[in-house]
Each structure stands twice: as structure tokens, then as C-alpha cells.
Amino acid sequence: MKISITRNNWISIASVVIFLVLWKLLSLHFHSEFIVPSPEKTFKALCHLFVEKGFLSVVGTTVLRGVIGFAVAAIFGIAAGIIAGLYSGFNAYITPILVTIRSIPVIAITLLALIWFNPYSVPVFIGILTMFPMVCTNVISGMNSVDKSLVQMAEFYKVGKKRIIKELYIPAIAPFIFSGISNAFGIGWRAIIVGEVLGQPKYGIGTNMQTAQIFLNVDVLIAWTCIAVLLSYFFEILIKNIERHALKWTRVRS
Amino acid sequence: MDKSTIMSLIIKNLNKQFGENIIFRDFNISFREGERTCILGPSGCGKTTLLNIIGGITEPDSGSFEGFEGKSYSYVFQEPRLLPWKTVTGNIEFVLSDSLSRSERTAKAKELIERVELERFASYYPSQLSGGMSRRVAIARAFATDSDIILMDEPLAGLDTELKHTLMQWFSDIWKRDKPTVLFVTHDESEAHLLGNEIYRFSKAPVSIIS
């Protein structure tokens, strides 16, 4: 199989190389592992993490929190968004709630959650509160953009409400749902890790980041950050693939 | 009894206005069942409003309707209004009753697709169809529900003359099978003469029948 590298691929590769060079220069400048460890030392720390006992428990628990938080936020966000799109009264009711939740700083939610919940639930709760308004707002925008003439056609032919929602509204708003999910997941991971840093559950990437920070293991802290970035990247690709499969009709052309 | 001999769909004293714009004032009209009636008139005279009132999309201000009770309707809109995420088969299945099983729906859709000669395109999405094909799917969808009355609002507008003639011939052929009542709105004289058994010519609003 022939792999072709485009000009933009080369630019992306150059961007990563320049970043690594700058990092190396900074580490040489500070000459202290406690301030800026070198890229190679960080890479070693990253490799060490992968083989460390309990690595899978730590990453698996954070992923589980992310997935639970995302699932709850997506289910309620999509349902509330559809209802708000169908009934203007509910839209008027939920809009100030969404604006308020979006405006509250994550740290304020975290501090309150620490009082209300146990450390294991705090990251999930924060994840839900961060992701829910993003998904819901996108779904409401999608509902407002649905072609009303299609709805009129469906109602004229007396298609049942359930089928109109399932076969007309949901496919019509699917691009908005995926966009909301993608944005929400990106922000949600960060919120969940902040929740773990402050909540200190037994397992969690955030917990390990906090421990590394306390002991000034900056290389380990950056290594965990890399793992968080890789996880986020993995889920973004996963969502994009699901989106591509679900919205294949948008790509067919005569 | 030949149902085409009966003027059984009667509208009396129809009134409708949008704001200050009076469309119908004590307007009377009747249609024969089982016939193709064309309503001809200038743009904006109220032809579509009449179809929408008959189809229940628009509420009249007042008026009495005889013979419309218990009738089922299909509507071929000016634009095909196909769901872009559903295939040709899916679009036809979409309007079929929930009381039909999945296999019955598929069989019915298949039969209609054969009638409109789009078998090769059954799994195509609307974006893969030409304008004429999309209109044929929309017409097939109108026949899918076995309606008593088919309302058609300039379904051939914007198509070239040759394609119009082909579609009209094809429509006449599939209409002959069940002979539903067709109310066909157009502002194109040639379409009206080719498709209609009866033609009403409307004036500008407030509407009156010129001939």
C-alpha cells in the first residue's frame, strides 16, 4: 500500500517537531527536572506508566467516569433539546437554566460537589454539568433548523409523533448532536480530571496528577497529561467515525 | 354507478382572508369524484390556499364542505419534500400506516417503485436523483396511502417541457388504476389541458371562477 503524505501532513509534522525542539531548549535553559523535564525523560516516564501496576485501573476508572458522565449528559441533553425544540414553553423554561450552568466556573461546581457528593461521584457530576448544556444547546439549535416543510408533509400524511421524532427530527438534527457531543467530550474530559484532582478518589488520572505534583515529579505529571490528551484524541476519532457512519447520506452525491 | 357523474365534493360560501388580503369571499366550487380537476390561475390568486384548506393545513374563516367527510388525502407539494436521509424506498415507507407490518410496508413500497419505474433507484438517496425522479417519488408517495383525494400543487413547476410531458403521461397511466379524485393546481395552461378532465380558471384574489 502506498502512503502519500500531503503538504499539510508535512506542516503538522513540522509543528510537532518545532514544539519538541522548543521543549528541549526550555529544559536545557532551566536545567532542572523539577521545573521543565526534558522530552526524553518525560517519554521514559510515560513508558514507565504504561507498565506500572494499576495503570489500567487508573485509566479505566477515568474513562468509565467520562463515559458515564457523557452518557447521562447526552441522554438528558438530547431529550431536553428535542422537547425544547418541540415546545416553546419548555424552551423558555430551560434556556435560563442552560445559560446559568454554562456560566458557573467549573471550580465553583467542583467545590460545591465536594460538599454534596463522595469523591468517587464528584468527577462524574462535574462531567455531567459541563457536558449537558453543550449537548442540549446544540440540539435546540438543530431543532430550530429542521425543515418545517418536511414536518408539515409528515403531519399531513398522519405519520405518528413517535416516528416523526425518530425518523425525521433525530436524523435532521444528527449533525448538531454529533457537533455537541464532540465539543462536550473535549471539555468534559478536562472537567472530569479537575474533579479527580480536587476530589482525590482512589483511582483516577487527576488523582495521580495531583500526587505527581505534590512530589514534584513533573515528568510524571506531564506523562499523565499526555495520556489524558491521547484519551481525548482517541474518543474524538471514535466520535468522528461513528458520525461518518451515521451520516453517510450526507456524502452521497449523484 | 359511475362516480365521475356526481358532483359530490362541494364547497359553499368559503371565506378566507390573511390580514387585510381577502382571498375567498362567499366562494362556491364543486368537484367530481374520480376525476382530475385542474385549477388554473395567476400566481398568488389563492389556488394553493384552496388546496391547503381542503387538505386541512389552513383553517378557513367560514364555509361549508360537503362530501369531504371521512375522506383520506395525499398531497404532492410544489417541491418533492423527500427526507434526504432516507432512500427512495424509505421515503415511501415513511408515510405508510403504522398498522402495516415491516414486510407489508416494504412490499407496498416496492410495488409503487415498480409503478413509477424507479426499481434501479430504490436504494438511492434523494441527492442522487434527478429533479424528475424526485417528483416521481413524491407522486409515488402520494399513491402509497391509497387516498380518496390527491392534492397536487404545481408538482411540475420548473421542469423542462419534455420532462413535464413524460411525467404527465406517466401520471395519467398510474392514475387510471384506482382513479382517485385529483385536484391539480397550476398556472400553466398546457399542463392544465394535458392533465385535467375538468378545468377551473380562477381570477385574481378575491377569487372568482372565470370559466
**pLDDT tens for each residue of A129-145:** 999 999 999 999 999 99
pLDDT tens profile A182-205: 999 888 888 999 999 988 888 999
Based on the fold, state whether residues B200 and B190 are members of the same structural domain. Answer: yes
Is B127 within 8 Å of chain A by CB? yes
Tell me: pLDDT of B83 over 90: yes
CATH of the domain at A206: 1.10.3720.10
> What values do phi and psi take at B100, rounded to 5?
-80, 145
Give the chain B residue nearest A162 (alpha carbons). B98
Using CA atoms, how far residue A110 sits from A114, A127, A178, B193, in Å, is 6, 10, 27, 74
Calculate mean pLDDT across residues B89-96.
94
Tell me: pLDDT of B157 over 80: no
Nearest to B128 among A156, A168, A253 (CB): A253
Number of folded domains in chain A?
A: 1
Tell me: pLDDT of B124 over 70: yes
Q: What is the ipTM of this complex?
A: 0.85
A9 domain-assigned:
no
Contact B145/B74 with Cβ under 8 angstroms? yes
Q: How far apart are CA B174 and CA B178, in angstroms?
A: 8
A13 domain-assigned:
no
Calculate mean pLDDT across residues B69-85.
90
Please indicate whether, in this complex, the C-beta atoms of B127 and A153 are within 8 angstroms of each other.
no
Residue B38, domain extent = 1-72+147-211
> What pLDDT shows up at residue B2?
45
Is B85 within 8 Å of chain A by CB? yes
Mean pLDDT of chain B: 85
Residue A225 CB: number of other CB atoms within 10 A? 16
Residue B159 pLDDT grade (very low, low, confident, very high; cuts 50, 70, 90): confident
Q: Which site among A149, A156, A158, A250 would you substitute to test the B interface, given the most B Cβ atoms closer than 10 Å to its Cβ?
A: A156
Please indicate whether, in this complex, the C-beta atoms of B98 and A160 are within 8 angstroms of each other.
yes
pLDDT tens profile A73-132: 999 999 999 999 999 999 999 999 999 999 998 888 888 998 998 888 899 999 999 999
Based on the fold, state whether residues B182 and B93 are members of the same structural domain. Answer: no
Strand partners, B182: B36, B150
Using CA atoms, how far residue A203 sits from A211, B14, B170, in Å, is 11, 74, 70
A4 domain-assigned:
no
Give contacts of A157 with chain B, Cβ < 8 Å: 74-75, 94-95, 141, 145
Based on the fold, state whether residues B111 and B152 are members of the same structural domain. Answer: no
Residue B32 CB: number of other CB atoms within 10 A? 18
Give the chain B residue nearest A249 (alpha carbons). B85
Boundary residue ending a domain (B102, B118, B145): B145
Based on the fold, state whether residues B136 and B159 are members of the same structural domain. Answer: no
Boundary residue ending a domain (B104, B128, B145): B145
Longest dimension (CA), chain B: 51
Contact B18/B52 with Cβ under 8 angstroms? no
Q: How far apart are CA A203 and CA A52, in angstroms?
A: 14
Please indicate whether, in this complex, the C-beta atoms of B85 and A249 are within 8 angstroms of each other.
yes
Please indicate whether, in this complex, the C-beta atoms of B94 and A154 are within 8 angstroms of each other.
yes
Based on the fold, state whether residues B86 and B118 are members of the same structural domain. Answer: yes
Please indicate whether, in this complex, the C-beta atoms of A252 and B94 are within 8 angstroms of each other.
no
Q: How far apart are CA B199 and CA B96, in angstroms?
A: 31
What pTM, to 2 d.p., does this model score? 0.83
Please indicate whether, in this complex, the C-beta atoms of A252 and B77 are within 8 angstroms of each other.
no
Contact B39/B52 with Cβ under 8 angstroms? no
Number of folded domains in chain B?
A: 2
Residue B120 pLDDT grade (very low, low, confident, very high; cuts 50, 70, 90): very high
Range with lowest mean pLDDT among A51-65, A89-103, A195-209, B155-169 = B155-169
> What pLDDT shows up at residue B154?
86
Q: How far is CA B2 from the centre of its chain?
A: 22
Based on the fold, state whether residues B46 and B89 are members of the same structural domain. Answer: no
B210 vs chain A: nearest CA distance in angstroms? 31
Is B84 within 8 Å of chain A by CB? yes
> What pLDDT shows up at residue B4?
46
Stretch (H or E) spanning B28: strand B21-31
